Amino acid sequence: MPTLPELRIGDPIRHEALAVFPLFTDTGGVVDYLLSDEAIASGSVAVEEVSEAGSVPNLLVENTGDSRVLFLEGEELHGAKQNRILNTSVLVAAHSKTTIPVSCVEQGRWRYRGRQFGHGGSHSSSKLRHYLKASVTRSLKEDRGHTSDQMSVWSEVSRQMDALGSSSETAAMADTYERYRGKLEEFRSRVGYVEGASGLAVAVGKRVVALDLFDKPETCRKVWDRLLTGAVMEALEVGKAEEHADAGDVEALVSRLRGMAWEPAPAVGEGEEFRSDAGEAHASALLVEGSVVHGSVVVAG
């Protein structure tokens, strides 16, 4: 069972409706791995369709390198027949082939745009991750693997596109993010990584919507900017907030997380996976060699 380490909640960094609380722990990770974007860029990992015909809910990862590679729940991959996001965090073993569970975030395309996927550099919003976590947990309980509710994913991508006045010939989530590239850069410059943080809690207005924790600060530093892209898109929907979350709101979510009942689930790659749900809060954790490589909770808005 996952044991949440002691956390110190740092001072929030605020910009418009967004507040980011850095999280600090005294534990240091002992698991060595590359992140997916690093491995894809180096050529040691190739991500492709599972076959010539393809399969919407699955992709094939071939890791020819000497290092494990970590893919994070909610991160976006671009290319091949349609853009996808990861349904759960997966640690792919060195020198292995692994089929990973994904969801489509580009409903209007099913044709090749290159054979391999590149890393999109962006991350799903907490609302979209909530649909992923809730439906994947439900699928696991029904022995259907890490399958998401694809219709709900498409619905949320479309809803956000409409809310932000975006459009896309292929209904691609990436096109909405591209439209707001300038705002994403603005937020990135205002809410940058806080040295030493191993995690972060995100609030939009008064509501804490997500918390992510990693096994070491190095990982958190590398994923900080892109993990926040989804949160920025949510903040842009709200605009100016009249109320803001404080450390007490984050502490309340942490306390709730500590009290949740965890159930084991079969990990896709290496390690052990645990999941939990309580009302509108859904959580998951990937443990490797006793370390929580990635733990997260999202709360329905």
Q: What's the whole-model pTM score?
A: 0.96
Q: Give a yes or no: residue 258 inside a domain.
A: yes
Q: Are 224 and 192 in contact (CB under 8 A)?
A: yes
Q: Give a yes or no: residue 2 inside a domain.
A: no
pLDDT value, residue 290? 87
Q: Give a yes or no: residue 116 inside a domain.
A: yes
Q: Give a yes or no: residue 176 inside a domain.
A: yes
Q: Give a yes or no: residue 3 inside a domain.
A: no
2-6, 137-141, 197-201, 266-270: which has the minimum mean pLDDT?
Answer: 2-6
Altogether, the residues listed in the chain come to a count of: 301
What one-character-per-residue DSSP string does 54-112 give?
--TTEEEEEE-SSS-EEE-TTEEEEEETS-EEESS-EEEPTTEEEEEEEEESBTT--S-
DSSP-assigned beta bridge partners for residue 297: 211, 283
pLDDT value, residue 29? 77
pLDDT value, residue 242? 85
Q: Mean per-residue pLDDT for 11-20?
A: 97
Q: Give a yes or no: residue 86 inside a domain.
A: yes
pLDDT category of residue 80 using cuts at 50, 70 and 90: very high
- Total structural domains within the chain: 1
Q: What is the pLDDT of residues 34-70, one digit of tens each?
A: 999 999 999 999 999 999 999 999 999 999 999 999 9
pLDDT exceeds 80 at position 112: yes
Domain that holds residue 154: 8-299
Q: Give a yes or no: residue 246 inside a domain.
A: yes
Q: Give a yes or no: residue 1 inside a domain.
A: no
